[in-house]
Amino acid sequence: MKTKMPVWRMFTVFILLAVLLAGCGKAPAASQDSSGGKAFLTIKDDSGRDVVLEHKPEKIVVLSPSFLDVLYAVGGKAVGRPSSKNGDIPAAAQQVTEIGYVYNINMEQVAALQPDLVIAYQGIHEKLIPLLESNHIPYIMVRLKTYQDILDKLKLFGAIAGTPQKGEEVAAQMDGRVQKLLGSLPKQPVKVAILHTTAKSVTVELENSIAGNVAKELKLTNIAAGTMAGADPDSAPFSLEKLVEANPDMIMVTTMGQTAEIEKRMRADVESNPAWAGLTAVKQHKVYYLPQELFLLHPGLKYPEAIEYMAKLAYPGAVQNGQ
């Protein structure tokens, strides 16, 4: 004769199964030790390194302004930060010790702060790795290029600051705002070219550049999509012939450097050619210089503003301020 399993035992088995199944999910980029071990957090950074933080970092140095508003938004704080002329330093970080500019970090000043974590920008700060390692300074390499990157880093920095729920909340709020804006836009196709101009050269930006990714989120057609990158993985050599052949509806220009020098380079390499004047975007006055604070380095928490800014250029009248 069969005996029925007691209800309490059936319930216990169900709970055990649920716990086992929950453990089969994808491992996060950062995981906190809840097993009673010593490590506070284990991170797989964007260079693929496994970084173990034994304790919650109390002396964080960030090497890019793009990281500051992200860190402070989730309740973290820094003891060292880069200088900036772009007005992108959060008010709460204004008095934090400066350690040079993002492309010219003073490692002596960094070491003097005795940080227990340095957050470095992947693609810029690899040259500092030997100095960080020789000084036994824990560091993570962080990529910040795309919209998905900012959502991921809000969660990562929340974990580092010991406020993981705050990171999740801020990421969800940002994504809600962006998805609302994207859902309100017209479906008409817009073909764009994105040029990057410095005092020395003009290149064309690919989809994995900062401005290129914003255009991709807006579903704009980047004429350089699929083009082989040059020395910089985010851009390709500029060709006026190809620009004329593609004849984009709109041309956007990102810049690095002084305005006078950039305008001189544009005149010499681009605008002096008669073919430039024949482009549809030029004839319709749809050539726009994008603000450096949103499109030179990653805009961080201002990513929705970057999307809104470009959306207004592509779809005039379709976007309300602060939508």
Determine the structural domain holding residue 276 and report its residue range: 186-314
- Decide if pLDDT at 28 tops 60: no
Provide the domain count of the chain: 2
Lowest mean pLDDT among 2-11, 97-106, 140-149, 217-226: 2-11
Q: Are residues 37 and 158 in the same domain?
A: yes
In the block, residue with structure tokens 């002084």: 258
pLDDT for residue 138? 97
Taking the C-alpha atoms of residue 7 and residue 267, their distance in angstroms, rounded to an integer, is 81
pLDDT for residue 232? 85
Phi/psi at 197 (nearest 5 deg)?
Answer: -120, 130
| pLDDT range class, residue 319, cuts 50, 70, 90 | confident
Q: What is the pLDDT of residues 228-244, one digit of tens each?
A: 888 888 999 999 999 99
Buried b (16+ CB within 10 A) or exposed e, 104-116: ebebeebbebebb
Question: Do residues 83 and 103 make contact, with C-beta atoms less than 8 angstroms apart?
Answer: no
| pLDDT range class, residue 26, cuts 50, 70, 90 | very low
Question: Do residues 142 and 153 make contact, with C-beta atoms less than 8 angstroms apart?
Answer: yes
With respect to residue 5, please indicate whether it lies within any of the assigned structural domains: no
Q: Are residues 253 and 124 in the same domain?
A: no
Average pLDDT, the chain: 88
pTM of the model: 0.81
Q: Are residues 171 and 56 in the same domain?
A: yes
Q: Are residues 191 and 310 in the same domain?
A: yes
Question: Mean pLDDT over residues 49-57, rounded?
Answer: 96
Taking the C-alpha atoms of residue 323 and residue 310, their distance in angstroms, rounded to an integer, is 13
Structure tokens at 195: 């040029």
Q: What is the pLDDT of residues 180-239, one digit of tens each?
A: 999 999 989 999 999 999 988 999 999 999 999 999 999 999 999 988 888 888 999 999
Q: Are residues 112 and 98 in the same domain?
A: yes
Q: Are residues 173 and 307 in the same domain?
A: no
Q: Are residues 219 and 142 in the same domain?
A: no
- Collect all residues with Cβ–Cβ distance below 8 Å to 136 and sequence separation of at least 6: none
First to last CA, the chain: 69
Question: Mean pLDDT over residues 105-110, rounded?
Answer: 98
Taking the C-alpha atoms of residue 221 and residue 211, their distance in angstroms, rounded to an integer, is 13
Q: Are residues 120 and 163 in the same domain?
A: yes
Question: Mean pLDDT over residues 294-313, rounded?
Answer: 93
Question: Mean pLDDT over residues 31-52, rounded?
Answer: 82
Rank 35-39, 224-228, 278-282 by mean pLDDT and report only the highest: 278-282
In the block, residue with structure tokens 């985010």: 234
Taking the C-alpha atoms of residue 28 and residue 160, their distance in angstroms, rounded to an integer, is 13
| pLDDT range class, residue 37, cuts 50, 70, 90 | low
